[in-house]
């Protein structure tokens, strides 16, 4: 399949390992990523708090770029997924559409509303399919207990994101099972990572992140995995702060979604950028049982 690849800001900057892993997995599964150096930031759920119409207009421009090329968009970030989907939805309001068109038309940009925005998780589980992925697994993640951590904007508001259950999703766990891992079910998997208020009140954000990591751990997780690089910042880059807030060490390796897929499909930790994580992932990888020799 061919799709417009929308990496988002973090995967192009501090979360480069997400981009590396995405490209590796896409190549392995025959997903052709079409790149557009003209894509702008999605607004990240912050810009629209300052100016919603402006944010919708920037995303209408992003959507128009893909539409002109006749492609749907693939995101690798729960928040990019949410913001681009919301723009599609808000443009259904005639007043919003008129203001956005007023800004875009003089630039020769027109968006007709035909582009679908899909997160990599959805493409893997719906378009490629867990059975097809299972057939490609070269190193089953046997013995690894993984707590999926979805990221709010991929799921909610449920009636606007129009995918799986916003409170009881299962796509990520289905995928983990196909990869040979054991998914861990815990309340925190659909909760917030604390990232949105990391800059507002760090102690509170850290307490929230620590609670979700502790919850995954209490349910037996050796590692967590997330389809959102912002959750990854909160759970990995700032895990030391979460541990301080929790009052005890957490030592929880946190994978990006395509990293767990890549590991199972045979990529090396280096190819997936795993050495870039703040919390080492070696101990989790060491838990993977080598396949029995026939």
Instruction: Output the smallest distance, CB 263 to another protein, in A.
Output: 19
Say whether residue 278 binds another protein (CB under 8 A): yes
CB count in 10 Å sphere of residue 129 = 13
Give 86's DSSP letter. H
Among residues 106, 162, 247, 290, the one that binds another protein under rule CB under 8 A: 106
Instruction: Output the smallest distance, CB 238 to another protein, in A.
Output: 7
**Distance (Å, rounded) from C-alpha 182 to C-alpha 197?**
31
Among residues 119, 145, 217, 241, the one that binds another protein under rule CB under 8 A: 241
Angle between helical axes of 52-68 and 78-90 (0-180°, round to 10): 90
Task: Take residue 87 and report the two structure tokens written for it.
Answer: 């723009």
Looking only at residues 213 through 232 of this chain, which bind another protein when binding is defined by CB under 8 A?
A: none
Among residues 277, 281, 284, 285, the one that binds another protein under rule CB under 8 A: 277
Count of residues making up the chain:
294
**Distance (Å, rounded) from C-alpha 267 to C-alpha 219?**
28
Q: What φ, ψ does residue 2 adopt, rounded to 5°? A: -110, 135
For every residue of 126-145, DSSP letters joined together read: IIIIHHHHHHH-SS--TT-E
Say whether residue 50 binds another protein (CB under 8 A): yes
Choices 23-31, 130-138, 140-148, 192-200; region in contact with another protein by CB under 8 A: 192-200
Looking only at residues 196 through 215 of this chain, which bind another protein when binding is defined by CB under 8 A?
A: 196-197, 199-201, 204, 207-208, 211
**Distance (Å, rounded) from C-alpha 31 to C-alpha 147?**
26
Task: Take residue 104 and report the two structure tokens written for it.
Answer: 């875009």
CA angle 137, 142, 148 (to 5 degrees): 85
Instruction: Output the smallest distance, CB 114 to another protein, in A.
Output: 20
Choices 7-15, 114-122, 175-183, 213-221; region in contact with another protein by CB under 8 A: 7-15
**Distance (Å, rounded) from C-alpha 245 to C-alpha 202?**
10
Among residues 116, 134, 136, 156, the one that binds another protein under rule CB under 8 A: 156
Say whether residue 9 binds another protein (CB under 8 A): yes
Task: Take residue 146 and report the two structure tokens written for it.
Answer: 């993984």
Number of residues that bind another protein (CB under 8 A): 66
Q: Is 98 exposed, middle or buried (0-12, 13-18, 19+ CB in 10 A)?
A: exposed
Instruction: Output the smallest distance, CB 140 to another protein, in A.
Output: 28
Among residues 97, 219, 276, 287, the one that binds another protein under rule CB under 8 A: 276
Binding site residues, another protein, CB under 8 A: 9-10, 12-16, 37-41, 43-55, 57-58, 61, 99-100, 102-104, 106-107, 109, 152-153, 156-158, 166-168, 187, 190-192, 194, 196-197, 199-201, 204, 207-208, 211, 237-238, 240-241, 275-278
């Amino acid at each position: 399949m061919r799709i417009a690849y929308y990496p988002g800001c973090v995967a192009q900057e501090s979360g480069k390992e997400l981009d590396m892993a995405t490209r590796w997995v896409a190549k392995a599964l025959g997903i052709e990523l079409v790149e557009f150096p003209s894509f702008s930031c999605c607004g990240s759920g912050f810009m629209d708090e300052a100016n919603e119409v402006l944010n919708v207009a920037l995303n209408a421009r992003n959507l128009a770029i893909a539409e002109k090329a006749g492609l749907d968009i693939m995101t690798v970030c729960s928040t990019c997924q949410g913001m681009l989907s919301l723009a599609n939805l808000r443009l259904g309001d005639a007043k919003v559409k008129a203001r956005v068109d007023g800004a875009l038309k003089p630039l020769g940009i027109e968006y007709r509303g035909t582009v679908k925005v899909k997160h990599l998780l959805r493409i893997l589980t719906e378009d490629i399919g867990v059975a097809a992925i299972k057939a490609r697994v070269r190193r089953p993640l046997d013995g690894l207990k993984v707590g999926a951590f979805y990221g709010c904007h991929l799921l909610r508001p449920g009636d606007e994101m129009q995918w799986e259950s916003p409170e009881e999703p299962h796509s990520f766990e289905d995928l983990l099972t196909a990869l040979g891992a054991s998914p861990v079910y815990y309340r925190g998997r659909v909760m917030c990572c604390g990232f949105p208020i990391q800059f507002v009140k760090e102690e509170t954000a850290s307490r929230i992140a620590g609670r979700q990591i502790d919850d995954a751990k209490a349910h037996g997780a050796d590692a967590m995995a997330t389809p959102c690089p912002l959750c990854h910042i909160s759970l990995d880059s700032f895990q030391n702060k979460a541990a301080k807030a929790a009052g005890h060490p957490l030592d929880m390796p946190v994978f990006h979604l395509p990293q767990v897929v890549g590991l199972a499909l045979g990529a090396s930790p280096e190819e997936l950028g795993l050495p870039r994580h703040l919390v080492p992932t070696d101990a989790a990888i060491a838990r993977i049982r080598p396949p029995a020799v026939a």
